[in-house]
Structure 1
């Protein structure tokens, strides 16, 4: 099979072009896909769908990952997708866009903060099938080799079958050595609490760290991503770009009368 016959996959992340997760992801897929990486030059966690509206961007070609073309970008994860599609790929349309593999959990409400999910959402808004892969282990040097078969299977299924318009996949791996299987599940409800820590600077002013801890707001639920992860399953959550509440929309139609 020639390079031109292989599916084209655009990969980005929010941990930086040099991260262990993105290198591992490329190694999982480079034998059957042509891969272009465009990722932030440094960590951009928590950037969600942010893009650079008030600053210029710079690209730099990198040579740190074998089996693919690598570029770093000074912007956000979403900037990386936008600039790759319009500049680096010269009009070629990827068969798939992937964010990850992220070092850290992006289930539940983390979905809304995640730069990894921002990548998948941006691809989805461009009507390109998109997946976000995240691993619950925050260790940036964690061994991710046991994710290989699941990542490859999910990618191949999406390449073969596509995804509905306006839907991307949020895939999270629990921090275990052996998975119990895969669960297709909804996003769980949770909250971040105790999010601000105040410190006193030696020069006499106060400064703040954004930290916090996650609270599961439906601990008895067994059909969501948090339950799946806490019980050793890989969670796959189909995620919609259209955030309209159609049930309430129909009820509010009476306002028009």
Structure 2
């Protein structure tokens, strides 16, 4: 076991979700598996961390396998932090998150707990991959996903990705075995959610609001994750925690000089 790679597994749907159980099963064939995942669904929490309440992290055994497991009362990012600092015998060779029930393509990455766990691991210098299946059903069929999850993780373990490409966002279309056409390396499509809040009333007459939304894709180009998924391909998008917009950095610097010029002109 000491010669095997150490694999950290987490998610945002909760440690009992079928998606993470499928992921744990696959990872057991590739290394020494440590599962640290939320004890309840944490979808949409993004990169939230627990700061104003205690964290519980209890050893648990859910199903068969050699994996060691802990359920955590916190967020996916809390799980990664606790795993690295308190639970694992050393820094893991790779962190995998998922398999998420539902899409994490394009703009969804901003809100995703699945991908925030991945990004947190990459901050610590750990290669990491988030897997999502485009099926929100709790009883989703992960069979077609297993082949691609295994191949991608094995490739990263035995052929380390460059340090500048520490994190990958992998989305898998809702298709049967043999229907998936292959893998596409993509960029994140330009998209957004058009949201609304439906006003409702509870039995005591108190007002509450329920979030609704429609997904809008503005980007139909063939190099995007949305195009790949729509056309039957697994999409892989490299992601990062550096949010600097380098394409306009020099423009902003020139704009700053312009503002300084105006200020000097006003003063004198």
TM-score range normalised by the length of the shorter chain: over 0.9
2:168 match = 169
Q: Quote the residue 2:266 is aligned against.
A: none
TM normalised by structure 1 equals 0.94
Contact kept in structure 1, 2:195 and 2:211, CA below 8 Å: no
Deviates more, 1:19-28 or 1:161-170: 161-170
Matched with 2:213 is 212
Aligned to 1:244: 244
Aligned to 1:196: 197
CA distance in 2, matches of 1:210, 1:125: 31
- 2:265 corresponds to: none
1:134 positional shift: 0.4
Contact kept, 8 Å, 1:11 with 1:37, in 2: the verdict is: yes
Q: 1:148, CA displacement in angstroms? A: 1.4
Encode CA deviations 1:79-135: one digit per residue, 9 max, x unaligned: 000001111114x01000011000010001000100000110000111100000000
CA positional deviation for 1:196? 1.6
Question: Which residue is 1:155 aligned to?
Answer: 153
Deviation at 1:166, TM superposition (A): 4.9
Query: TM (normalized to structure 2)?
Result: 0.91
**Distance across 1 between alignment mates of 2:48 and 2:164:** 19
CA distance, structure 2, for counterparts of residue 216 and residue 195 of structure 1: 17
The count of residues paired between Structure 1 and Structure 2 equals 253
Distance 1:250 1:229 in 2: 34
For the residues of structure 2 that align with 1:165 and 1:51, how far apart are their CA atoms? 25
Give the conservation status (yes or no) of the 8 Å contact 2:11–2:37: yes
Alignment check: 8 A CA contact 2:80 2:120 kept: yes
2:264 corresponds in structure 1 to: none
Alignment of 1:113-192 (within 5 A): 113-167=111-165, 168-177=167-176, 178-192=179-193
Alpha-carbon distance in 1 for matches of 2:190, 2:247? 19
**Residue of structure 1 aligned with 2:102, choices 101, 104, 107:** 104
CA distance in 1, matches of 2:181, 2:8: 29
- Cα separation, partners in 2 of 1:199 and 1:166, compared to 1, 3 Å: farther
Long gaps (5+) in structure 1: none
- Distance apart, 1:67 and its partner CA: 2.4
Larger radius of gyration: 2
Q: Which residue of 2 aligns with 1:13?
A: 11
**What SS class does the counterpart of residue 106 from structure 2 fall into?**
coil
Q: Does 1:223 align with 2:231?
A: no
Measure, in 1, the Cα distance between the counterparts of 2:198 and 2:162: 42
**Contact 2:9–2:34 (8 Å) recurs in 1:** yes
In the alignment, structure 2 segments of 5+ residues that lack a partner are 261-268
